[in-house]
């Protein structure tokens, strides 16, 4: 069987790092990208340069993204799967108190960079009848206080995924939007600007989704028979569910 290649963004932590482990264990080659080379290099050391290629760059830097693509070793050049996972939430304040800079960073990372990498890889994904897995969020479907722009970016990811599917009709390329709920990774540490206590408090006693749970979901989707496409999948921990609407009274 020929060895397949996945490009997993956000591979230095959380879902992405767990997905690297899952795909390497399953016999795939993986391009692991993220800003922190010190987190990517150990993946290469552990699995070997023939199995994992580390590409350290900021996804918001389109020139760096193109350079990383152009510099792929020949063994990693034929990409079968793009996992658009790199992303972040910044801040929990309501819109009227939020930072515009943080809003722009979320849009640049979660939306602009995601479409840029997708656009760059589409020709070869079509040529190889490959697949795209976009990591969206339940925040794109359920409003919550402080979700403002983060939820907006994820609603974009979900809808972009569905529109991609429509445009790619007949090409054999599969597209999936995965929409996880509360998962324990570095996500809340990043969101709160490094507040470990706030992160610990959010997850305490809740048995959240783990990074491995989402890595297994990506693996399952990528390895389904080629005539099947999971369009969207929403995953929550049993401990999380939707709550009702709010009413303001004078
Ligand atoms: P982590 O913070 O653990 O991982 C985020 C990853 O994104 C890191 O590898 C980080 O790498 C990368 N990243 C962030 N900004 C950039 C950038 N500018 N350039 C390159 N890479 C970047 O969080 P998760 O694993 O939880 O998050 C992964 C995805 O899952 C995100 O899109 C998130 O929105 C989504 N998600 C998370 C949920 C959760 O509850 N945890 C639930 C639903 C969706 P580095 O810092 O090295 O650049
Ligand atoms: C992360 C899930 O509910 O914290 O996307 O926004 S949530």
Q: Is the pLDDT of residue 64 over 80?
A: yes
| 138 Cα nearest atom in ligand 1 | 43
Cα(166)–Cα(236) distance, integer angstroms:
27
Is 245 contained in some domain? no
ipTM confidence: 0.99
Model confidence pLDDT, tens digit, residues 81-123: 999 999 999 999 999 999 999 999 999 999 999 999 999 999 9
- Confidence band for 244, pLDDT divided at 50, 70 and 90: confident
Atom from ligand 2 closest to the CA of residue 150: 6
- For residue 48, being part of any structural domain is answered with yes
Residue 241 lies in a domain: no
Phi, psi of 30 (to 5 degrees): -135, 130
Q: Three-state DSSP class for 184?
A: coil
pLDDT at 107 (0 to 100): 99
188 domain residue, yes or no: yes
User: 87 CA to middle of ligand 1, Å?
Assistant: 4
- Determine the Cα–Cα distance for residues 235 and 222; give it in Å rounded to an integer: 17
For the chain, what percentages of helix, strand and coil (3-state, to nearest 5) are there?
45, 15, 40
Residue 192 has pLDDT above 90, yes or no: yes
pLDDT in tens, 22-62: 999 999 999 999 999 999 999 999 999 999 999 999 999 99
142 is a catalytic site residue: no
Beta carbons within 10 angstroms of residue 157's beta carbon: 22
Question: Do 15 and 214 touch, CB atoms closer than 8 A?
Answer: yes
What is the four-CA torsion angle of 72, 216, 16, 150, rounded to 10 degrees? 130
Which pLDDT band, with edges at 50, 70 and 90, does 249 fall under? Answer: very high
250 found inside a domain:
no
Asked, for residue 242, whether it belongs to a domain, the answer is no
Task: Give the range of the structural domain holding residue 69, as residue numbers without chain letter.
Answer: 5-235
In a domain, 95, yes or no: yes
Q: Is the CB of 58 under 6 A from ligand 1?
A: yes
The per-residue pLDDT for range 142-176, each reduced to its tens digit, is 999 999 999 999 999 999 999 999 999 999 999 99
Residue 198 included in any domain: yes
Q: Ligand 1 centre from 128 Cα, in Å?
A: 27
Report the CATH number at residue 206: 3.40.50.720
Query: 138 alpha carbon to ligand 2 midpoint, in Å?
Result: 6
What is the number of domains present in the chain?
A: 1
């Amino acid at each position: 069987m020929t060895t397949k290649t996945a490009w997993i963004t956000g591979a230095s932590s959380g879902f992405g790092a767990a997905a690297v482990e899952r795909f390497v264990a399953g016999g795939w080659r993986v391009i692991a990208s993220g800003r922190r080379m010190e987190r990517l290099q150990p993946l290469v050391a552990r699995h070997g340069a023939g199995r994992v290629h580390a590409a350290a760059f900021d996804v918001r830097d389109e020139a760096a993204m193109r350079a990383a693509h152009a510099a792929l070793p020949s063994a990693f050049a034929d990409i079968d799967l793009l996992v658009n996972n790199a992303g972040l939430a910044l801040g929990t304040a309501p819109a009227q108190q939020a930072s515009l800079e943080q809003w722009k960073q979320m849009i640049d990372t979660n939306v602009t960079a995601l479409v840029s990498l997708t656009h760059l890889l589409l020709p070869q994904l079509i040529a190889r009848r490959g697949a795209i897995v976009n990591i969206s969020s339940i925040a794109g479907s359920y409003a919550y206080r402080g979700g403002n722009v983060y939820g907006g970016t994820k609603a974009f990811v979900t809808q972009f995924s569905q529109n991609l599917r429509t445009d790619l009709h007949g090409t054999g390329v599969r597209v999936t939007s995965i929409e996880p709920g509360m998962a324990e990774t570095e996500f809340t540490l990043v969101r709160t600007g490094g507040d470990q206590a706030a992160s610990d408090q959010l997850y305490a006693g809740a048995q959240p989704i783990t990074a491995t749970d989402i890595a297994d979901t990506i693996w399952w989707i990528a390895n389904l028979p080629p005539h099947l496409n999971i369009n969207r999948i929403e995953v929550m921990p049993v401990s999380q569910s939707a709550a009702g609407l709010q009413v303001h009274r004078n």
